Chain A
Amino acid sequence: MSSRKEEEIYQEHVLDHFEDPYHRGELEHRTHVHQGDNPLCGDQICVQLKIDADQRVQEAWFTGDGCCISLASASMLMQALEGKTVDEVRAFTAEEMLELYQARLTPNRQKCCLLSWRVSQAALFSPVQDGVDSGNREPVGGEQSGPHLGEES
Chain B
Amino acid sequence: MASTDAPPLDANRYRQDFPILSSVLHGDQPLVYLDNAATTQRPRCVIEKIVEVYERQYANVHRGIHWLSDQSTDLFEEAREKTRRFINAPLREEVIFTTGATGAINLVARSWGDANLQAGDEILVTEMEHHSNLVPWHQLAERSGCRVKFIPITDEGRLDLEQLPALLTEKTKLVAFTAVSNVLGTINPVVEIVEQAHQAGALALVDAAQSAPHGRNDVQAWNADFVAFSGHKMLAPSGVGILYGRASLLDAMPPFLGGGSMIHRVTMDGFEPAELPAKFEAGTPPIVSAIGLGAAIDYLEDIGVDNIHHYAQMLTQQAHDVLEEVGGVRFFGPPPAEKAGIVSFTLEGIHAHDVAQILDQYGVAIRAGHHCAMPLHKRLGVAASNRASFYFYNTPEEIDALADGLRAAKRVFRR
B26's nearest neighbour on chain A, judged by CB, is A5
Within 8 A of A (CB), among B348-380: 350-354, 357-358, 361-362, 368-370, 374, 377-378
Residue in contact with A41 in the complex, picked from B350, B361, B383, B408, CB distance below 8 Å:
B383
Residue A3 CB within 8 A of the other chain? yes
Residue A56 CB within 8 A of the other chain? no
Query: Roughly how many angstroms separate A68 CA and B347 CA in the complex, as a whole number?
Result: 13
Residue A6 CB within 8 A of the other chain? yes
Query: B413 contacts which chain A residues (CB < 8 A)?
Result: 10, 15, 18, 68
Query: Roughly how many angstroms separate A43 CA and B350 CA in the complex, as a whole number?
Result: 13
A147-B352 in contact given A43-B383, A65-B383, A109-B357 (Cβ < 8 Å): no
Residue A142 CB within 8 A of the other chain? no
Q: Mark B381-411, 1 if CB is under 8 A from A, else 0.
A: 1111000000000000000000010001001
Query: Roughly how many angstroms separate A42 CA and B208 CA in the complex, as a whole number?
Result: 27
Residue A40 CB within 8 A of the other chain? yes
A146-B374 in contact given A67-B351, A112-B353 (Cβ < 8 Å): no
Query: Roughly how many angstroms separate A65 CA and B352 CA in the complex, as a whole number?
Result: 12
Query: Roughly how many angstroms separate A139 CA and B376 CA in the complex, as a whole number?
Result: 20
A41 near B369 with CB under 8 A, answer yes
B26 near A147 with CB under 8 A, answer no
A6-B361 in contact given A68-B413, A149-B378 (Cβ < 8 Å): yes
B408 near A146 with CB under 8 A, answer no
Query: B377 contacts which chain A residues (CB < 8 A)?
Result: 42, 147
A41-B404 in contact given A69-B354, A147-B377, A149-B378 (Cβ < 8 Å): no
Query: Roughly how many angstroms separate A6 CA and B383 CA in the complex, as a whole number?
Result: 24
Query: Roughly how many angstroms separate A1 CA and B412 CA in the complex, as a whole number?
Result: 12
Residue in contact with B378 in the complex, picked from A41, A65, A146, A153, CB distance below 8 Å:
A146
Residue in contact with B381 in the complex, picked from A19, A68, A112, A146, CB distance below 8 Å:
A146
A interface bracket (residues with beta carbon within 8 Å of B): 20 to 34
B358 near A6 with CB under 8 A, answer yes
Count of B residues near A, CB < 8 Å?
Answer: 26
Query: Roughly how many angstroms separate A43 CA and B370 CA in the complex, as a whole number?
Result: 11
Q: Mark A33-55, 1 if CB is under 8 A from B, else 0.
A: 00000011111000000000000
B385's nearest neighbour on chain A, judged by CB, is A42
Within 8 A of A (CB), among B16-73: 26
Nearest CB on A from B279, distance (A) = 34
Residue A83 CB within 8 A of the other chain? no
A147 near B383 with CB under 8 A, answer yes
B357 near A41 with CB under 8 A, answer no
Residue in contact with A68 in the complex, picked from B351, B369, B404, B411, CB distance below 8 Å:
B351
20 further A-B pairs in the complex, CB-CB below 8 A; given A18-B413, A67-B353, A68-B413: A1-B362, A6-B408, A9-B357, A10-B412, A10-B413, A15-B412, A19-B414, A39-B374, A41-B353, A42-B369, A42-B377, A65-B383, A67-B354, A68-B350, A109-B353, A109-B357, A146-B381, A147-B383, A147-B384, A153-B374
B residues with a Cβ closer than 8 A to A are 26, 350-354, 357-358, 361-362, 368-370, 374, 377-378, 381-384, 404, 408, 411-414
11 A/B residue pairs, CB under 8 Å, sorted by A: A3-B408, A3-B412, A5-B361, A6-B412, A41-B370, A42-B370, A68-B413, A109-B353, A112-B353, A146-B378, A146-B382
A residues with a Cβ closer than 8 A to B are 1, 3, 5-6, 9-10, 15, 18-19, 39-43, 65-69, 109, 112, 146-149, 153
In the A-B complex, the 6 residue pairs with the smallest Cβ-Cβ separation, listed nearest first, are: A42-B383, A67-B351, A147-B383, A5-B361, A67-B353, A68-B354
